[in-house]
Structures are given as structure tokens and as C-alpha cells.
Amino acid sequence: MLIQILNGIVYGGLLYLLAVGLVLIFGLREVVNFAHGALFMIGAYIGFSIAAMGYWWSGLLVSVFAMALVGCALDAAVFSTLRKHDHIVTVLVTFGILLILETVVTKVWGKAYLTYPVPPLLAGTVSIGGSPFPIYRLFVIAVSVAVAVSLSLWLRYTRTGLYIRAASTDARVTSMQGINVDRLSLIVVGLGTALAGLSGVVAGPLLSLSPTMGNYILIDSFIVVVIGGLGSFAGAFIAALLIGQIHNFGAVYLPWAATVLPFMLMVGILIWRPTGFAGSRT
Amino acid sequence: MTTLIEARAAKPRRKPVGHAMLIGGAVAALAVGAALPWIVPTKIAMSLLAQAMFDALLATSVGFLILQNGRTSFGQAAFFGLGGYTIGVLVARQWVAPELALLAALILPTAVAFLLGLVISRITGVAHAMLTLAVGQAFYEVVFRWRELAKGDDGMSFDLPARVFGFSARKLQDPAFMLVLSWTILVLVLVGLVLFTRSRVGQVAAAIRDNEERARFLGYSTVMPPALVYAIAAFIAATAGILQACYNGYIAPQMFHWSTSGFALIMAIIGGAKFIFGPAIGAIVLFYIKDFAGQFAEYWPAIVGGILVVVTLTMPRGVVGLALLLWRRGTGR
């Protein structure tokens, strides 16, 4: 039982890392980033290529930095020009980017499933409540908790964090106060995609790598973002934990319905509250 | 903010094409359709073009929802797949006569969409896109897991019955016949949609799209017309699904997958979702680009993605919008 809950938290943590990136990007750029799953996947593949040479931790760092750069480039080249457009147009543009990135991954790494190694430092299991539990999974939980805590402290107690919260509420009014929202967006989108890369690398050893690995988790993280409320950081955190538990308990106790449960929950919540349970936007 | 549907109150409306011209155009299009087997050179080209017709129908369904309800669906494949699966499963099991199976395959998706439309038409924008995505994926997951229904992941092939409505059903798998049939259905659907947008209920749906509160204030029911639009869109998607399932004699969960919905949406946008004919033209344009791309087929998703990015950023009204603009400039109107 305890093990089940922990497994749910592991998946919830991964979803949180992706969902919070989506929330950050949506908050500042009003872009629903369909390419986020593809960035997650590319992060995993970059980390894998370096880890395969024996440098697991360098793989993690390189992947996170590379994805941060990709995010800044995306923001400067694409997202900043999308401001004038409707949300749906931006969705379509990021959908186009997703198709391009998937093709790139298929060309570079092939379609075969690849196995991402676990770093030697984190191999093995510990005993929790009498059952063995992989240390690596505890590491995944630790990473997501660390990100969640430092992100919320950063947003709450720094000046940049204050600006970001302001711009997420209303980018136009914030820029009227003399804050450079474009520069802020560069940081925020870069951070969001870096988190996608981080999530990809830490998820690598848990899932197997394939050009479609981003799709499944992307849809789950969309569900998290929508349930939590578009633009809400706390909502994303709670919803990620909730979906993680549902995903896991569903798989154990209701296997025939497990994959449909998150969708049902989302439909139910949106009908009850069209803005999600902590959001104010549609 | 530019939206896909621009509400322009100030500009006087162009006089709509008269009924006589509409009927004339439809008859001409049907005549072209009947001649297609002699125009299109090879069986393979006919087969591919028939496939493009199924895509065109699905894209029309997605585009109609954008045009008439102002809602973008990322899950229209749900009704495409539901139509295909209903006829596939019923015909394969031989539970009912094939004519009844056809009827069920048309009615079930339409009814589901109508009921769903009553609820989800309240939700707008991105949340609507996500919600339809979720509904579509929920169907996908069900048919993917439910092996007893139609062999789950593997998909299921089925044999067509000998006769449908007294005709030989084998003809449905003949490329020339299927091309003419799907073309004819597409033309009839487009004419039907034009007539719908001019009807009273169509006008009310458009008014609700532009300003729901005002429409309600004027005393219209703001629940039924959008739900009816969902039902009509699903009916068209189901027709496409039925045609494809019968033509291939095969159904697979991919029919429900969100990439199927996504590609239909791309076709609708590239063609121009502001026009009833736009999505169908988008499907045909993409079909020819794919034909040209031939040797680069493995890069096909990236090519589509690139086109999509360029089209959405540079010509928000799609190919048809661009063509109309050029034509109007050319004729000096």
C-alpha cells in the first residue's frame, strides 16, 4: 500500500515537472505548448546519448542546459510573435513544432525502444515497510520535491518571482508598470523547457525511450494543467499528485478503466468548474 | 487579438450566392465526380484520392465546428472512429442486417455528439480543445484495451456482406466506385452545410457563437443550436469513418487517435476554416503536397508541421482566404 502511494508520487512528480513548465509558459506567453512532450522526449534522448558513454550526471546537466537554450530560442523566434494571435492559433503552431521535433528524433535516434541506464550511485533498492523499493524512484521524488519547493520560494520571495506572478496574472498591465515582459518570458520559457528536459532525463530510466514517449505523458500533463486551472502553480501541484495516485491505483485495482479515469475526472471537473479548481482563466 | 472567426459587424455583407447558383455548382461538381474514373489515370491514384475524400469529410466536420460554433475540437476522430467501429463490429459479428448496421453507425456517433454538445458547448477556448482531446483519447484507450470488441491494438479486418440495399457491397472496395461515391457524398454534405448556415437555426447558432449572452437576451435558446451543430459535425465525421472502414475492410484504434483529429484540424486550418469549402480544399491541397513530397515521405510529419506553422502565421484565413483575396484584387472589387 505504502509502495503504491510512493509509486503514485513518482509519476505525479514527473507530471508536476512537465505541468509546471506548461503553466509557466502559458502564464507569460498564453501559449499552450503542444511541443512540451517533444521537448521532454528530446531531453531524454540527449541525456541518454551522454549517459550511454558513461557520464550519467553530465547527461543530466547537458540535457537541462540544452533544453533551456532551445526554450529561449523558441520564445524569441516563435512565441514572442504569437502574442497577437488567438490561443488556438498558438496551439496549432506548437502542434506543427511537435511534428517537426518528432521527425528529428526519429531521424537521429531511430524508432526502436532504447533503455536508459540507472546511474550506479542510485542503483539498488531500500526496504520500505518490508518491501523493496528502488532508490532511483526515491531520487525522482526528491528531484520533484526540490523543484517544487525552490520554485515556489523563488516565485514568492524574489523580485523576479514577483514580476512573473504579476505577468502571469496580466502581462499587459505588468508591462505598463515598466517591466520588460519579453525578457521575463525568455527566462520563464527557458526555465519551463529546462524542466521538461529534466523531467525527460529523470523519467528516462523509468520509461523506455521511443519517439512517441512524449505523447502519452503530455496528455496526462495537459489533464493536470486543466484540472488544476490554467495558469495556477499550486493547482498544478495538487492536480499532479492526484493524477499520479489515480494513475497508479487505477492500474492496480481497476486495470480496465485505469487509462480512462484521468479523462473522466477532467471532463467532470471542467463541467463542474470550467476554469479548473484553482484557475480563473479559460 | 485575431480569432479564427472574425466577427465583423461594421462591414456590409456580400450578397450570398443564390440558390440557383448553388444548385448549378453542385450539379457541375457531381458531374465532375461521375467523370473522375476517366480523368484519374491509375487505380492507385484513384485509391489515394478516395482516401483524400475521407480526409476531406473529416476536415469538413472539424472546420464546420469552428465556423459555426467557434469551437476548436482536438477530438473529432472520436466520431470518425465510432462510425467506423460501429459498422465494422456489427458487420463482422453479423448481429444485424448490414442496412441496420449502417443506420446505427450514423445514429450512434450523432447522438453521442449531441448529448456531449449539450454540456461541452459551454466551455470555450483552450479548455474546450483539451476537453475534446480527452474525450477522443478516452475512446481510443477503450478500444485499445478492449480486446474482445475488435482485437484491441491489432485492429480487426472484416468482410463486407454480399449485398447492401440490394446492391453488391463488393463495389465499396473498388477504387473507382468508392471515389465517385465519396466525392458525391462530400458535395452533398457541403451543399447541406451551406443550406444549414442559411437556415434559421444556423443563423441562431452563428449568433450564439458571436455573443452568447446577447443571443440569450434576445430570447433564443442557447443550448440546442450549438448541440445540433456538434451532432451534424459528428454525423459528417461518422460518414467519413464508415466509408474508410468499408473501403479498407479494416478498423484500428488509430481511427480514434488524437493525431487523426490533429491532422484533420491541420487540413481545416490550411484550407481555411472560415469557409465551408475551405477544409475540404485543405485536405486536397495536402494530398497533392504529399504526392509531390513522395521521396521525402519519411519527413512527411515535419513537412506538414512546417506548412502548418507557416500557414497559421502568415495566412490565418488559409489557402481559400488567400485565393479569394488575390481574386478580389485581380478583379478590382
**Closest CB to A226 among B4, B127, B307:** B127
B251 strand-pairing partners: B156
- Over residues A35-61, the pLDDT tens digits come to 898 999 999 999 888 888 888 888 889
Interface test with A, best of B308, B310, B315 (most A CBs within 10 A): B308
How many A/B residue pairs have CB atoms within 8 Å?
132
Q: What is the pTM of this model?
A: 0.84
φ, ψ of residue A204 to 5 degrees: the values are -45, -55
CA distances from A32 to A87, A88, A182, B126 (A): 7, 8, 17, 8
Contact B133 A222 (CB under 8 A): yes
Per-residue confidence at B108, pLDDT binned at 50, 70, 90?
Answer: very high
Within 8 A of A99 by CB-CB distance, chain B residues are: 301-302, 304-305, 308
B24, part of any domain? yes
Label residue A2 by pLDDT band (50, 70, 90).
confident
**Predicted local confidence at residue B1, as pLDDT:** 42
What does the angle CA B328 – CA B330 – CA B332 come to, to the nearest 5 degrees?
A: 65
**In 3D, which of A256, A258, A232, A257 has the Cα closest to residue A245?**
A258
Q: Give residue limits of the domains in chain A.
A: 2-272
Instruction: Collect all residues with Cβ–Cβ distance below 8 Å to B170 and sequence separation of at least 6.
Output: B160, B162
HSE (side-chain half, CA atoms, 13 Å) at B175: 16
Closest CB from B2, B123, B138 relative to A86: B2
pLDDT at B317: 79
Nearest to B231 by CA among B75, B92, B112, B312: B112
- How many Å apart are CA B86 and CA B109, to the nearest integer? 9
Does the distance separating the beta carbons of A100 and B129 come in below 8 Å? Answer: no
Using pLDDT thresholds of 50, 70 and 90, give the confidence band for residue B15: low
The per-residue pLDDT for B2 is: 45
In-domain check, residue B12: no
**Residue B115 forms part of a structural domain:** yes
Answer whether A99 touches B (CB < 8 Å). yes
Q: Is residue B1 part of a domain?
A: no
B274: in domain: yes
- Chain A residue at shortest CA distance from B318: A89
Among candidate residues A22, A26, A36, A34, the one with its CA nearest the CA of residue A95: A34
How far does B41 lie from chain A, in Å, by closest CA? 32
Confidence of residue B106 (pLDDT cuts 50, 70, 90): very high
**Nearest 5°: phi and psi at B223?**
-100, -50
The closest alpha carbon to A58, from A50, A48, A49, A66, belongs to A50
For B260-303, write each residue's pLDDT tens digit: 898 898 888 888 888 888 899 989 888 888 777 767 777 777 88
- Chain A, 21 to 40: residues with Cβ < 8 Å from chain B are 32
Contact A99 B119 (CB under 8 A): no
pLDDT at B26: 84
Interface confidence (ipTM) of the complex: 0.78
3-state SS of A225-254 is: HHHHCCCCHHHHHHHHHHHHHHHHHHHHHC
Which chain B residue has its CA at the smallest distance from A30's CA? B126
**CATH code of residue B120:** 1.10.3470
Summarised one tens digit per residue, pLDDT across range B234-260 is 999 999 999 999 898 889 888 888 888
| Grid coordinates given for A154 | 523563488
Closest chain B C-alpha to A278 CA, distance in angstroms: 14
Nearest-by-Cβ selection for B309 from A93, A104, A266? A93
Cell 521524488 found at: A141
Q: What is the pLDDT of residues B207-228, one digit of tens each?
A: 888 888 888 888 888 888 889 9
**In terms of Cα–Cα distance, which of B121, B21, B119 is closest to B68?**
B121
* Mean pLDDT of all residues belonging to chain A: 84
Asked if B158 contacts B91 with a C-beta cutoff of 8 angstroms, the reply is yes
**Which pLDDT score is estimated for B5?**
52
CA nearest to B135 within chain A? A263
Contact A223, B131 (CB under 8 A): no
**According to the model, what pLDDT value does residue B4 have?**
53
Side-chain-side CA neighbours of residue A242 (13 Å)? 21
Q: Which of B125, B141, B306 lies nearest to residue A259, judging by beta carbons? A: B141
Strand partners, A133: A126
> B72 — contact with chain A (CB < 8 Å)?
yes
In this structure, what is the dihedral angle of CA atoms B316, B318, B320, B323, given to the nearest 10 degrees?
A: 70
- Among A32, A84, A96, whose Cβ lies nearest the Cβ of B306? A96
Q: Indicate the number of domains in chain B.
A: 1
Q: Closest chain A residue to B117 measured between Cα atoms?
A: A271
Report the C-alpha gap between A113 and A91 in whole angstroms: 28
Which of B131, B127, B133 is CA-nearest to residue B74?
Answer: B133
Question: In Å, how far is B165's CA from the nearest CA of chain A?
Answer: 38
Tell me whether residue B10 is in a domain: no
SS3 state of residue B252 = coil
| Residue that the C-alpha cell 452563428 belongs to | B206
Which H or E run includes A94? helix A87-109
Residue B213's domain spans which residues? Answer: 19-331
- Show Cβ contacts of residue A268 under 8 Å, excluding neighbours closer than 6 positions: none
Is the model's pLDDT at A89 over the cut of 70?
Answer: yes
pLDDT tens-digit readout, A6-32: 888 888 999 999 988 888 888 888 788
Query: Does A219 contact B258 at a Cβ distance shorter than 8 Å?
Result: yes
Main-chain dihedrals φ then ψ at residue B137, nearest 5 degrees: -70, -30
CA A9 – CA A12 distance, rounded (Å): 5
pLDDT score of A106 more than 60: yes
Residues B92 and A4: their CA atoms lie apart, in Å, by 41
Residue-level pLDDT at A30: 78
Per-residue pLDDT at A282: 46
> Which CATH entry fits the domain spanning A2-272: 1.10.10, 1.10.3120, 1.10.3470, 3.40.50?
1.10.3470
